[in-house]
Structure formats: structure tokens, C-alpha cells
Amino acid sequence: MSGGAGPLVLLPGMLGDATVWDGVVAALGPETNVLRTRVDLDDSIAGLASRVLDRSPARFALAGHSLGGIVALEVVRRAPARVTRLALLNTSAGAGSPAQRAGWARLAERVGRGEFAAVAAELARATLPAVRRADPRLVSRNESMAGTVGPDGLLRQLRAQESRIDLHPSLAAIDVPVLVVSGELDEVSPPALQRDLAEPIRTARHEVVPGCGHMSPLECPGEVAAHLRGWLAR
């Protein structure tokens, strides 16, 4: 499916692991050559982007969810000739608001006090829309992924969040096919943020998944895969 686009490199979000993409990859089918890369092993966006570039082929398609989308934007900024197309799910290009930065600092403080399990359990629900927070399957999947990342990984991710810069000035230079995906019910990265992200990019298409929240690859894998198939075929 990826054809001339090269392999499809997939990046999860904060407290996510490679399994967040399982349903999407299954829906894409075996003809899509997929590589999955972690985003919890470095403590800056720059470091995470360098890791992606070091572990990816010379040319590749790139899709990132949430924090993975922020890393994907930095990858494209650093090495535009290597990325054949870009998909950004439930993410933004901003440096983080004062409220976000204060929230990341509080989370880091709590994890440092040994409260990782409580933080992971809270975020497992908070990243889902209100209508799905009682879904035991989704909550369990979120908690399991958080366990893979662990407290040290989360602390690295929170430091990486603090290192974010405003990437809006670099968006207009992107000239590969771009897919921006929003969840209609996303309270973490509302669709308005994705509209702001897509608007400066001449090649971008913005798609909103109805009834879906922040964890779109987990909540709505079939719909996400359908949008990715169209993007890979562009």
C-alpha cells in the first residue's frame, strides 16, 4: 500500500506504546510496510526526532499521534527530504500553553513522589472522551501502555513536552501530502487546534472522526486506517 511513499513509520503519543497502532495496522493490511518507533527514550523533542531519523530508512512516510505528532513535525523540519508524506493525529504545533506547562510540572512532581500508578490511571481515563471513560477495554489498554512506558519514561516525556518550541513558522514549508486527523470529542487536543495546524500547509487535508476522542488510533482504528489509506494513495 505504501508503494513509492516508502515504509510507514508510526509514532505513539505520551504514555502510549507501539500497540496503540495495532487496530490501525490490522485494518491497513499486510501490504503496508510498517515500522514502529518509541517516543519515551529521550527527554527532548530534538532528541526524540533524532532517534526517529536514526532508526528510519532513507525515505519514509511518517504518522504521529499526539506527542508523536509533535516529534513528527520536528522530524520534517530537520530532514524534509527524507519524509515522503506526513500524518498528524490529535496533535498541535504550539509550544504548550502556560496551563499545559503547569500541568506537566504537577505530573512530574507527582511521579517523582512515587505516584506513577495513580497518574497513569487518571490519564488512562482523561485521554478518553467522557462517553468512553467507563469502557474497561479502552481504560485497560491505556493503563497497559502506560506500564510499558513506566515512570522514568513518563518523566522523560514530560521533559520533552517542556522542550517544545512553536513549530507554526515551519508549517508553510511542508510540501508533501499531509493528513491531519481530529477526534470530534477530543478534549486534550480539540479539533480547533488541528484546523490551525492544517491551515498553513498547502498540501494538508483535515479530517474529523465523528464520536472519537483523543486516542483515535485506539478508539476508532478502522476510521483512522481509512483516512491513512487515502493519504498513502495520494
Q: Which of 209, 200, 215, 220 is nearest to 69 (CA)?
A: 215
In this structure, the chain runs to a length of: 234
Tens of pLDDT, residue by residue over 130-151, are 999 999 999 999 999 999 999 9
The pLDDT tens digits of the residues spanning 107-126 come to: 999 999 999 999 999 999 99
In the chain, the N- to C-terminal Cα span, in Å, equals 11
| 4: DSSP letter | G
Percent of the chain past pLDDT 70, that is, above it, reads 98
Is it the case that residue 7 has pLDDT exceeding 80? Answer: yes
pLDDT above 50: residue 63? yes
Read off the DSSP letter of residue 20.
G
**Model pLDDT, residue 160:** 98
Residues above pLDDT 90, as percent of the chain: 97
Q: 46 CB contacts (<8 Å, ≥6 apart)?
A: 74, 163
In the chain, count of helices (H) and strands (E)? 10, 6
117 with 149: CB under 8 angstroms? no
For residue range 39-52, list pLDDT tens digits in order.
999 999 999 999 99
**What is the C-alpha to C-alpha distance for residues 111 and 98, in angstroms, rounded to an integer?**
20
Rounded to an integer, the average pLDDT of 208-212 is 98
H or E stretch covering 34: strand 34-36
Query: Which pLDDT score is estimated for 1?
Result: 44
Instruction: Summarize the confidence of residues 196-205 as an average pLDDT.
Output: 97
d(CA 162, CA 100): 9
Alpha helices by DSSP H, listed for 18-177, are: 22-28, 45-54, 67-78, 98-112, 116-126, 136-162, 168-171
Q: What is the pTM of this model?
A: 0.96
Per-residue pLDDT at 110:
98
What mean pLDDT do residues 125-130 have?
Answer: 97
Task: Tell me the mean pLDDT in the region 175-189.
Answer: 97
Cell numbers of 146, please? Answer: 502506560
pLDDT beyond 90 at 5? no
